[in-house]
């Protein structure tokens, strides 16, 4: 309302009140005669009061009007200042992932990015998008206030800020200029950009920009790419029902993809058709005919397309490009980059083939799939040769169990926090270790078979994965030694991990398969850790270099210690808990399992229930880590098989990945000196009682040259104890 109309309205209200007041005064005179001086005085006071109120109303209205005009003016200036120049080049350029030989391995967007003029986009497709995404597109000014108000009301009722009410113009602005966070500031910026776009471009131009830039799933951007992806034809040739399916996808491409979820795609397509009929874009007869047709997909020959290949590896490349080199996801997906990687297609395909064979995995419960993640890398360079982050259907940027998972590693952690640092301090494979009843400040580990042997050699302890000797040995060398060796191996442990339970992999947070592969890769590489990485370099489409990876070797331990660990881990595969990983070539590795939490929920399951199962190992050519388990572990979802399952997966992947590669031995370092075997030690009939030093143990300590010192203080309820919540164990 203008200032003039506001004043006119207020004057009319004042005149009406004055007339009513005069009428009341006349009525009072007729009834009572001439007014007294007191009455006249009261009437004058009333007039002054009404005039004062009128002045307040006028002043308030003027202030509100001035504030509104000032706000509108500031908003207009802000909107005019927004930069939308990017819309002049809205179409994404395809980014290619190159393999280790410099050949294209995967593509992140459509292989055809040519603009499609609006007149070449079928009217049915344009109308379908408008019907489902923005029915008032040609009526509003970039922001649909009615839809926004309804969305705001829903948000107020739900108590959450959701994505409702966005117009096509707002979606275009969000996709090109803004992050996808659900915040009020982002929504305000989105609105500002939408107003600027609407004031700069015609409605048809905006629709053309939207249709050529929106994401339609399966790595496809724009209607031309979507038409090629799902129907192997240009957008210009799409039928009504095909157009409706394309229009159904932008809301949630992975959910409604007909390649992944045909039932949901059909339901969503028919919804679009019903909206088109409701809004009079199609007739009842056209609707009936289209809705009765099934979805018939026709895809190009897979060999001719790089789209969607190696999804887990590509997801990690995107993550690494963002985390290490500062690329935004939009730049990675649309800037026409050439990302050269360490990907080995043969190794990657071997891993993917294994993960697609359900018979190689333990049987899952019907309502939840046993998940898994694996990483294979070249230990001499740190280059990630292959990576699979999930079983089953994989979605773009879905959870990657190979790189994002954090789980306790169980006994596979022993070489990194116990046996590696012990060898550095003079222990030998034949060194005798204590294996009896043990109680250190309330921490009472148990061997997985429930038995004790009194004394075992270090070789036997690692080969059979006995728990008590590992905990006893970590206590002897000190927790600091174990934490330091893990740190040098690339695994940082926090203050909460400073307990003897780390000997059995009882960590507060856990580790990922990528971290474990990198750590074991240092052992395989004679004590030198190479930073695990996928990206070698990034260039423009024309070959202009943008970034390049730099080697960052780190010395973890000596060559002799690393090689001795390799020999011990070979024994674990040849004759110990890792026999399921054996191949007709040198293999070194370690299994690991963790028990179910010690809570009431799992009390009836017993000791055979397992939460996580690992195998981490290597050949002279490749290092790999494999994890399996349920995403959500509960009394109905847990493993019943231990390290043999991931060890078997390791064997299958390695046998296929190294097919045709001649077998070679592990390199013997020049500083390695073979150890003469010691005479077998006699075992006592029973081990010492808890917290009591026996003469046998003292003799053992003197033989090891460790003197007479007491056990170190450790938390009495550490993870891994018989009373802990997560008890790592070994099968």
Q: Which of 213, 372, 411, 718 is catalytic?
A: 411
Locate tokens 């005085």: which residue? Answer: 41
Torsion (CA) 601, 604, 608, 614 in degrees, nearest 10: 0
- Write the DSSP string, 111-165: S------GGGS-HHHHHHHHHHH-TTTTTSSSS-HHHHHHHHHHHHHHTS---TT
Joined tokens for residue 407: 């789980």
**Whether 195 contacts 143, CB under 8 Å:** yes
Joined tokens for residue 370: 């046993």
Q: Annotated catalytic, 430?
A: no
- Write the DSSP string, 358-390: GGGSPPPBTTBPPEEEEEEE-TTT-BEEEEE--
Neighbours of 8 (CB within 10 A): 12
Euclidean distance between CA atoms 682 and 688, whole angstroms:
15
Contacts of 164 (CB under 8 A, 6+ apart): 147, 150, 151, 154, 155
Under DSSP, the state recorded for 214 is S
495-531 CB burial, b ≥16 within 10 A, e <16? eebbbbbbbbbbbbebbbbbbbbbbbbbbbbbbbbbb
- Write the DSSP string, 471-520: HHHHHHH-HHHHHHHHHHTT----GGG-SGGGGGT--SS-B-HHHHHHHH
Euclidean distance between CA atoms 397 and 394, whole angstroms:
9
Joined tokens for residue 337: 């980059």
Neighbours of 3 (CB within 10 A): 12
Q: Which of 106, 110, 133, 166 is catalytic?
A: 133
**Whether 235 contacts 247, CB under 8 Å:** no
- Write the DSSP string, 401-429: TTTT--B--GGGGHIIIIIHHHHHTT--T
Q: What phi and psi, each to the nearest 5 degrees, are found at residue 373?
A: -150, 145
Residue 446 exposure: Cα atoms within 13 Å on the Cβ side: 13
Quick one: which of 583, 566, 595 has its CA closest to 668?
A: 566
203-230 CB burial, b ≥16 within 10 A, e <16? eeebbbbbbbbbbbbbbbbbbbbbbbbb
Euclidean distance between CA atoms 355 and 166, whole angstroms:
40
Euclidean distance between CA atoms 368 and 543, whole angstroms:
45
**Whether 194 contacts 142, CB under 8 Å:** yes
Measured between alpha carbons, how far is residue 640 from residues 82, 358, 407, 505, 729 in Å? 59, 16, 17, 19, 13
Q: Annotated catalytic, 133?
A: yes
588-609 CB burial, b ≥16 within 10 A, e <16? bbbbbbbbbebeeebeeeeeeb
Which residues are 335's β-sheet partners?
A: 93
Extract the runs of DSSP E, i.e. beta strands, from 610-710.
610-618, 623-629
Which positions are annotated as active-site residues? 133, 411
């Amino acid at each position: 309302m203008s200032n003039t109309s506001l004043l006119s309205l207020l004057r009319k209200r004042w005149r009406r009140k004055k007339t009513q007041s005069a009428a009341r005064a006349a009525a009072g005179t007729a009834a009572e005669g001439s007014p007294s001086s007191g009455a006249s005085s009261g009437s004058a006071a009333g007039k002054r009061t009404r005039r004062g109120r009128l002045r307040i109303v006028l002043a308030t209205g003027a202030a509100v009007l001035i504030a509104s005009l000032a706000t509108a003016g500031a908003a207009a200036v802000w909107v005019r200042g927004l930069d939308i120049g990017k819309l002049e080049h809205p179409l994404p350029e395809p980014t290619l992932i190159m393999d280790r030989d410099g050949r294209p391995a995967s593509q992140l967007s459509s292989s055809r990015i040519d603009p499609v003029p609006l007149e070449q986009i079928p009217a049915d497709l344009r109308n379908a998008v408008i019907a489902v995404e923005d029915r008032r597109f040609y009526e509003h000014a970039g922001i649909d206030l009615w839809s926004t108000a309804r969305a705001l009301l829903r948000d107020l009722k739900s108590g959450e800020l959701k994505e409702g009410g966005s117009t096509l113009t707002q979606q275009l602005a969000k996709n090109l200029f803004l992050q996808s966070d659900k915040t009020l500031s982002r929504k305000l910026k989105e609105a500002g950009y939408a107003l600027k776009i609407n004031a700069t471009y015609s409605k048809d131009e905006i629709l053309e920009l939207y249709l050529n830039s929106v994401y339609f799933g399966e790595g496809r951007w724009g209607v031309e790419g979507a038409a090629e992806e799902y129907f192997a034809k240009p957008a210009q040739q799409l039928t009504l029902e095909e157009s409706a399916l394309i229009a159904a996808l932008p809301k949630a491409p992975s959910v409604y993809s007909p390649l992944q979820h045909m039932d949901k795609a059909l339901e969503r397509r028919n919804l679009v058709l019903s909206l088109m009929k409701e809004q009079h874009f199609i007739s009842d007869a056209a609707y009936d005919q289209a809705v009765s047709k099934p979805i018939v997909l026709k895809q190009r020959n897979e060999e001719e397309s790089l789209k969607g290949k190696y999804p887990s590896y590509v997801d990690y490349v995107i993550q690494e490009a963002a985390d290490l080199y500062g690329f935004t996801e939009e730049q990675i997906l649309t800037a026409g980059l050439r990302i050269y990687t360490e990907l080995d297609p043969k190794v990657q395909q071997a891993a993917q083939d294994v993960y697609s064979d359900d018979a190689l995995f333990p049987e899952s419960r019907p309502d939840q799939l046993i998940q898994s993640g694996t990483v294979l890398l070249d230990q001499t360079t740190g280059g990630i040769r292959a990576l699979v982050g999930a079983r089953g259907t994989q979605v773009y940027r879905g959870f990657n169990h190979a790189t994002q998972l954090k789980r306790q590693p169980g006994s596979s952690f022993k070489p990194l926090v116990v046996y590696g640092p012990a060898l550095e301090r003079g222990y030998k494979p034949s060194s005798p270790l204590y294996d009896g009843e043990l109680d250190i400040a309330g921490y009472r580990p148990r061997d997985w078979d429930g038995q004790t042997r009194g004394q075992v050699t270090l070789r036997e302890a690692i080969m059979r994965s006995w728990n008590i000797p590992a905990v006893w040995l970590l206590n002897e060398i000190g927790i600091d030694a174990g934490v330091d060796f893990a740190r040098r191996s690339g695994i940082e442990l926090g203050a909460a991990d400073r307990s003897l339970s780390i000997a059995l992999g009882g960590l507060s947070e856990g580790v990922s398969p990528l971290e474990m592969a990198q750590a074991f890769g240092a052992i395989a590489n004679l004590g030198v850790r190479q930073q695990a990485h996928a990206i070698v370099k990034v260039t423009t489409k024309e070959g202009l270099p943008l970034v390049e990876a730099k080697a960052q070797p780190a010395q973890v331990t000596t060559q002799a210690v690393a090689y001795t660990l390799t020999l011990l881990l070979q024994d674990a595969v040849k004759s110990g808990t890792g026999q399921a990983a054996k191949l007709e070539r040198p293999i070194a590795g370690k299994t690991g399992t963790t028990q179910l939490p010690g809570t009431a929920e799992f009390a009836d399951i017993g000791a055979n229930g397992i939460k996580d199962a690992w195998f981490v190992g290597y050949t002279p050519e490749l290092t790999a880590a494999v994890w399996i388990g349920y995403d959500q572990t509960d009394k109905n979802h847990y493993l019943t098989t231990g390290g043999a399952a991931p060890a078997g997966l390791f064997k299958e992947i390695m046998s296929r990945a190294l097919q045709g590669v001649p077998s070679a031995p592990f390199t013997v370092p020049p500083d390695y000196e073979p150890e003469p075997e010691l005479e077998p030690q006699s075992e006592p009939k029973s081990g010492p009682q808890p917290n009591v030093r026996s003469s046998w143990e003292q003799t053992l300590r003197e033989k090891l040259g460790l003197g007479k010192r007491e056990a170190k203080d450790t938390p009495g309820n550490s993870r891994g104890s018989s009373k802990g919540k997560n008890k790592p164990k070994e099968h």
